[in-house]
Structure formats: C-alpha cells, structure tokens
A and B are shown apart, each in its own frame.
Chain A
Amino acid sequence: DAKTTQPNSMESNEEEPVHLPCNHSTISGTDYIHWYRQLPSQGPEYVIHGLTSNVNNRMASLAIAEDRKSSTLILHRATLRDAAVYYCIRNTGNQFYFGTGTSLTVIP
C-alpha cells in the first residue's frame, strides 16, 4: 500500500527496546491498524492491533498518534527470535493493505 510507509530496515541490540515506526497519512477514521511479522519461509503472524488508543499485549505495545497518521510498534526487549520483517497494515473493511515492511536485525 503506497499510503503506508515504513523504513526498509532497522537494527537493535539484543534485550534492548525497539521502536518500529509507520506512517499511514491517509488512514480513515474507521481503519484499524494492525502489525504482523513474517519470518523467512513463513506466512505473516499477528503481533498487535488498535484503532485509536495505545494497546499492549504480551508480545508488544502499539502507540498510535493522536491524529492517527502514524503509529509505532514497540518491542520492549528484543530477542534473536524477533528478527523478522514487520508489516504495518491498514485494515479497511477486513481488507489488509500492507505497508512496505521493516526488516529488523537483532544483534547479539
């Protein structure tokens, strides 16, 4: 989705927090923001989702800007198993519009 942009790649040291940004400048008021990640040779797997307010689950936190034009996925302590491509997704009427994806490298 050309309207959902992410940095191509990011690096993080193991056990440090990681903030993965996403810009969705044309998101509508009813579009949910989902984050999925994809490991090599696998389909994407769910990480977290939200609409307007910040969300937490056991995997991560999602911070959504007040104007909803951007969001940030926060991994509190990166592990080697978190190395993957992370996708920010605009979900409109159950149609997933994937962002460009950020390849996360975790350095031991």
Chain B
Amino acid sequence: KAGVTQTPRYLIKTRGQQVTLSCSPISGHRSVSWYQQTPGQGLQFLFEYFSETQRNKGNFPGRFSGRQFSNSRSEMNVSTLELGDSALYLCASSMTGYDTDTQYFGPGTRLTVL
C-alpha cells in the first residue's frame, strides 16, 4: 500500500506571496492532519480534516487554511507569506481520526520564504 505523499517536496517563495501544499493520504484513510515543524517551535498542530470537514484547528493565524476533497486528498494554503513561515510542513493520515488511530506521516514539504 502506498504511503502518504506530499507535493512539492521543496518550495521557495518570497514574502507576501501565497502557497498551496498538497497531501495524498493512504488509500482508505479519511482523516488528514497538518503540522508545522521549525527548529524553534518544534512540531505544532495546524488542523485536521475528516470527510471534507475541518474538525480541529490549532493556534495559527487565519492566513493558514486548508481543505479536503471527496477523495480525502487535502491541500493547505498559506497567504501573505512571512519569513517565519519557513518550515517543514507535514501531513499525516489515519483511518478515522480516533484517539487510538495511528497517524502515518508523509515526508513533508520544505518551504523557504525569502
């Protein structure tokens, strides 16, 4: 079974631009979560989608948004990029999103904002 895939793997943008990242979950998984990883703040939860609905949201500004499609694929968008948005963005999928579910992580998208 194919794992979680994320595209693109690397991205360079300039301040003020917007960016869209894509995540394809493992087949059959309906929950997709997004995380930001930086050296200073570590791994932080952004949001979680299940059946095209955002169920949970972390403590990030409204510039960070996402959506999920009917095939469970998910996209994350960041508008008006800031230097501090430079990070590794990880997505993870799970079957149902219940507390006991295992989350399977993709390799991440490395975003650099200049």
Contacts and interface: CB of A to CB of B under 8 A. Distances in A.
Nearest to B46: A95
B114 to A, nearest CB: 22
B90 A44 contact: yes
B4 A94 contact: no
Interface in B9-61: 31, 33, 35, 42-45, 48, 55-56, 58
B106 A43 contact: yes
Contacts, number: 59
Interface residues of B, number: 27
A94 B106 contact: no
Contact of A45 (B94, B105, B108): B105
Interface of A: 30, 32, 36, 41-46, 49, 87, 91, 93-98, 100-101
